[in-house]
Structure 1
């Protein structure tokens, strides 16, 4: 068993592995993993940012931001989840399982974040213990893959354009869930620049919807001859 799945508090691990769809079908099971996912996402963003800052002393903020987005995007986190054997350990509802939830990148990536958050708490909020887990995973990602992904990150490309041509303030994303079952929700996002809407998008999670909104904004800029 991978070290990330070895817990002193088994209840905490169980919560981290429990998707909302499972709780919906088993109300007595307690809390699902979304709060832990929030914590794990914050930890992961910090550790990936620090990792890249130390590894690429010659890179500027924009390039580091693009690389961080590529290193911890949904596809890559889903791969990490499989590498630590999370895939078939996720506690899913019957509907989510029927729809291929064990191989769903969104579910895999969010569960990976939740388990990281839980692992952090299980080890007395010791960030060093989590760093020891994630840095080997970061090292396993080929450099050329990170670079190729970072070159196509639509949110960062749009932010660069905005801050170069409009305002030093970054774009603001307003995102909300608009429907879909618990294991396959649908989100819609609007991207605003100084209060003005520049694009809209939809997706299976907030990140996907925001990326789609940024791509919509970039498409509009191209049509106007501004990009």
Structure 2
């Protein structure tokens, strides 16, 4: 199988040349484009999530071997959560090479957080199957390197930090309001707004209410810091 020019360029962006190009093609194929002759990336996403988790657990222990499990857990969650995966995917322009069905194309699938997060995990799995664990580990450390170094800042509980911000300014605690729920029952997507009584708010979408609340709080905190 010969890769398209876009996928060859993508290989350069991630720093891995595939011995089996079909793996990369499958990793960037969304379920909306699957057919009897074309596999999608769902199983690769499942595998990649586990590979990412193992790499991150090992990296965090190597960076801080004296840390307790209680200290490592929030750092780990900050590095592997869907929002972080999607950010990494955007940095390497993964959305550009995704193979999407017409409905996903129309609805802006190349920019969707959940879709991008799943796709980068599928790419990790493709590299793992193509080159082994060390190749996948090298890929993850390249793409996540600066985040691992600054993970303590990213691991802050955003809801707690936002509440502390409000209290310091004598505002009532922020409220979290569900704006909408989409998707099937087995894979829902929740859009939550984090609102302050002064009218400032931010929204985020995730696969659980808790994750959406944390993401909305994190986005609002970033806005407040930029406005300061």
State the TM bucket, normalised to the shorter chain: 0.5 to 0.7
Alpha-carbon distance between aligned partners in 2 of 1:8 and 1:97, rounded to the nearest angstrom: 29
Shift of 1:7: 1.3
Name the residue aligned to 2:134.
128
TM-score, normalised to structure 1, is: 0.64
- Asked if residue 72 in structure 1 is aligned to residue 77 in structure 2, the reply is no
Task: From the superposition, tell whether residues 210 and 118 of structure 1 become closer, same or farther in structure 2 (CA, over 3 Å).
Answer: farther
Alpha-carbon distance between aligned partners in 1 of 2:85 and 2:31, rounded to the nearest angstrom: 19
Name the residue aligned to 1:191.
none
- Asked if residue 141 in structure 1 is aligned to residue 147 in structure 2, the reply is yes
Q: How does 1:1-227 map to 2 (within 5 A)?
A: 1-4=12-15, 6-23=17-34, 27-123=35-131, 126-141=132-147, 143-144=149-150, 146-152=151-157, 180=183, 185-186=187-188, 204-205=206-207, 208-209=208-209, 211=211
TM-score, normalised to structure 2, is: 0.64
Name the residue aligned to 2:202.
none
Alpha-carbon distance between aligned partners in 2 of 1:179 and 1:137, rounded to the nearest angstrom: 30
Alpha-carbon distance between aligned partners in 2 of 1:5 and 1:14, rounded to the nearest angstrom: 14
Q: Work out whether residues 33 and 111 of structure 1, in 8 Å CA contact, stay in contact via their aligned partners in 2.
A: yes
Task: From the superposition, tell whether residues 119 and 100 of structure 1 become closer, same or farther in structure 2 (CA, over 3 Å).
Answer: same
Task: From the superposition, tell whether residues 90 and 4 of structure 1 become closer, same or farther in structure 2 (CA, over 3 Å).
Answer: farther
Figure out how many residues of one structure are paired with residues of the other and give that number. Answer: 167
Structure 2 residue ranges without an equivalent (≥5): 1-11, 160-180, 191-204, 215-228
Shift of 1:152: 1.3
Shift of 1:149: 3.3
Shift of 1:17: 0.7
Structure 1 residue ranges without an equivalent (≥5): 155-177, 189-202, 215-227
